[in-house]
Structure 1
Amino acid sequence: MSDRCGNCDAEITDGGIIKGPNRRYGPGQVAILNFVSGTQYTDICEKCGRNDYESAILGLKGERQQCQDYMTANVVDFPMMTISQVPPDADCRIKSMVTANVTVGTGLFSELSQGFSDMFGATNVASGMALKVNSGEATARSILVTKAVAMGANCIVGVDVDYGTTANNAATVNMQGTAVVIRNLDAILDTDVLERFGTFEAKLARAQEITRWLAGDFAAD
């Protein structure tokens, strides 16, 4: 391989005491830059390609993070149902059981009086037992959705939520359900619910697509 860059003719070197390094980008790095930026480089080095390459990578990672932030903020848009059986007109395929066990704080039962006060507006619902339980439920739901998505599911049915305490009197939220693929969600979900999930699903698909690109997999595009 030439010791000069095929794009800018700069010397390819690991550097030394006085001269800084100028390394050649590998084939995978060149490929992702060409793919993202629409360029046609065959050989680039740090001198001529660093800005474009780093901009492409940062752009992809930033977009993926935006997708992940959206999904985190809108995890409730992923269909989860307490029904043990889906409607008969649903084309359903079962994936597997998903579970989540979350410790949310101390003293579930010792804070019951706080909880009753929360119910009737006597205290701030942004504190006390209500906050802990709601936070635990949200975390457990996120865990279930993450596991279901990893299986390729688009719905969780038979969802059950239990509450308890640990040996040291910490409150727990235990949530479980069955991850499934329902191929005709439009047959069972209301229009607004389906639309929200459609946006969630699009963000998920984009995040997965970017992850493949960053790994050098462009075959499906």
Structure 2
Amino acid sequence: MTCKPCKPKKSNIVEEPGKNIKWLDYPSPDENGFGYGKFCYFISCPDSKLPIRDYAREKKLEPHYEKKSYNEYAFCNQRGIRNLKNRGGSYIIFVTKYQGILAEYQDRFYITGWFPIYKWKEIDNLSRREWKRNGEGKVIYKTRIAYKSNNPIFLSIEDSIELCDEIWKKWFGTNLPKNSSLNPPRPQLNYFTKFLEKDSIALNEIKNHFESKSNRNKINEYIREIKNYGKER
């Protein structure tokens, strides 16, 4: 089921894809110092059955399933991922708060995508997007780092991993991270930014889960839904 046509959200930020910049080889997870994972969050589409980026209302471009890339077409989560190569990051793990049409899954947190890094490149961030945190100063990145996978796996919401207190405690020894400034305190999507140690319980279980469901990969359905958006209008 595709996202319903809706009035697009206007943005004053223009992102520039690095179309003419060559992808560079990225170290294998088996190389010394590599094999770590990083959680990255994205906004899901409220009108889709799939846990897909909000390409309709928010006009989100990342993760860019169509090119199997991340940050090639938009500046996104750079603070957490631009130094992945220096930290031995080999896997990006996509997390979202499901906002889709399946009511029984709504407003819960899921790991929906497994993205082994295969290539990388540095792109001039021509829009010079300003990033602010807690109102304290600003950082302007003049470049952004993009990553590419040769075999990403994106699942249906039914096949995704739900993040709950039980599994978070098993993996990290605590309950889900909560925003204590909210009343009552509750989990918030941008708090799901874990860096996962190589061979940790969490990383191994996530890897095994996605690889066991590789035959149920929905990435082609994701791409088809985005391409078909608006054709019925």
TM-score, L = length of structure 1: 0.25
Q: Which has the larger radius of gyration?
A: 1
TM-score after normalising by structure 2: 0.24
More helix by share: 1
More strand by share: 2
